[in-house]
Chain A
Amino acid sequence: MTYLHNIGAYFLMIAEMFRKPTKWSVMKQLILKDIDDLIIGSLGIVAFIAFFVGGVVTIQTALNISNPLIPKYLVGFATRQSIVLEFAPTFISIIMAGKVGSFITSSIGTMRVTEQIDALEVMGINSLNYLVFPKFIALMLYPFVISIAMFLGILGGMAACVYGGFSSLEDYIIGIQTDFIPFHITYAFIKTVVFAFVLATIPSFHGYYMKGGALEVGKASTTSFVWTSVVIILLNYLLTQMLLS
């Protein structure tokens, strides 16, 4: 029952977020600040993780192909497929659910418990539009982050190949070009956009509707991370089945 109630409240929140827009001159600054906090601020960690996990994917693949009949370029191929299809869009999104998600929940939650949201409402400002809409817009740049993750993941694989001696650079480059299906990129970016929406809205929901004090802000961040991840994983399953099979 409370689940249904919360799901209903979540969709009402999304509808409310688009109503009564905040003055553009103010909104512009909010969006820029959120782009800085949510997108630019995540590039470092995303780049770091993508590069090294890309390398590990390559090493694992190479080590598990011991049969001499399997062509060497398969390492590059497998690395590309796993990074483009799953690692970059899904795995990075789970990490972002922790990083960006808990930031969103705790910052909005703190505004709730310190009555800053009430202060906005008293002034007649649509606080959902003021707080959540700029995050939603900022996260529309999320595919850009994921592109970087894809690129660096494949680059990391290349580095591991060459420096670890698992296959030659030529084989790897042939591998990452083998059987390229453009729709896979479309599929990955459809997922990315959906996950961006989830990343902006579910943590906002948990922050906005939280009750209590500072301790509950911490709890809300944890709950928000759990739910954001669960929803991403479920949507990932549904989208994959819908789009690829």
Chain B
Amino acid sequence: MIEVKDLHKSFGEAHILKGITTTFDKGKTNLIIGQSGSGKTVFLKCLLGLFDYEEGSIAYDGEIFSQLTEDEKRNLRAKIGMVFQGSALFDSLTIAENVMFPLRMFTKQSKSEMQDRVDFVLKRVNLEDAHKKKPSEASGGMQKRVAIARAIVNNPKYLFCDEPNSGLDPKTAIVIDNLIKEITEEYQITTVINSHDMNSVMEIGEKIVFLKNGFKEWEGSKDTIFITDNESVTDFVYSSNLFKKVRRMYLDENQ
């Protein structure tokens, strides 16, 4: 579980996060949604410890990050997996080497133990025979899978994904979303996902935090997001005609 209390983050004059308080549960896919530029990535990077913040605290299973020693921070980081928006695979390494990277860095496993683990996670993300390819030779969907494999290879307790299905076709996007959800449940990970995609909301929105103008505007789940009367949320949700239609059908059905 991750608890965020009154988080403030600015870049110079620009106040991006204006006091955010929320919690993200273990074994669940927690979504942060909002328009482009609403601060989702900045929020995620604060959670990751990539950005310092002026005020507020973030606690990982009770341990407040800013109060940890350098060593404890390093240990905590080893338990974090991250899937970046553009996958951020190391392009000088092969796919297998990318996945092996955290193991080589942080464990004392033998070469064959590492290889076994890499085989296992690549299989888990349905990529059995791509070991020797370079990331540049893989499709966007494959790169995402590799990024997920790299993020989970060292058994993380926390998994962060920045728009994991951006740039993917709708079908692949849903496969990736569900893969993340399965892995989250299977290994009881605390997973936080940034998204502006309503499909993800419907597929995996077990907990949803809606950001607007640096504030947490609304919080709920995929079950409550379609019936809330918070205008900012409905604006966001029903910005597409498809969802306007879905809403009408839903309301008709329930009358």
Contact = CB atoms under 8 A, between A and B. Distances in A.
Interface stretch (A55-63, A78-86, A119-127, A135-143): A119-127
Interface stretch (B71-79, B115-123, B177-185, B200-208): B71-79
B53 interface: no
A5 interface: no
Contact of B74 (A22, A114, A124): A124
Chain A interface, DSSP helix/strand/loop, else mixed: helix
A25 interface: yes
A26 interface: yes
B86 interface: yes
Contacts, number: 46
Nearest to B82: A122
A122 B48 contact: yes
A124 B78 contact: yes
Nearest to A26: B104
Given A23-B105, A25-B104, A26-B105, A122 B86 contact: no
B80 interface: yes
B85 A123 contact: no
Nearest to A110: B91
B88 interface: yes
Measured as residues with beta carbon below 8 angstroms from the partner, the interface class of chain A is 10 to 19
Interface string A106-147: 000011001110110111110000000000000000000000
Contacts of B45: 118
B82 A119 contact: yes
Contacts of A116: 88-91
Given A115-B85, A115-B86, A125 B105 contact: yes
Contact of B84 (A23, A115, A124): A115
A114 B92 CA distance: 13
B59 to A, nearest CB: 18
B50 interface: yes
A118 B84 contact: yes
Given A115-B85, A116-B88, A123 B50 contact: no
Interface string A23-42: 10110000001000000000
A115 B82 CA distance: 11
Nearest to B76: A124
A115 B88 contact: yes
Nearest to A125: B105
Contacts of B80: 122
B88 A124 contact: no
Nearest to A33: B92
Contacts of B84: 115, 118-119
A124 B82 CA distance: 12
Contacts of A124: 73-74, 77-78
Contacts of A110: 91
Interface string B56-78: 00000000000000000110011
B27 to A, nearest CB: 22
A22 B106 CA distance: 10
Contacts of A119: 82, 84, 88, 90
Interface of A: 22-23, 25-26, 33, 110-111, 114-116, 118-119, 121-125
| The 3 A-B residue pairs with the shortest CB-CB distance in the complex, in nearest-first order | A124-B77, A115-B88, A119-B88
Interface of B: 45, 48-50, 73-74, 77-78, 80, 82, 84-86, 88-92, 101-102, 104-106
6 contacts: A23-B105, A111-B90, A115-B88, A121-B50, A123-B78, A125-B105
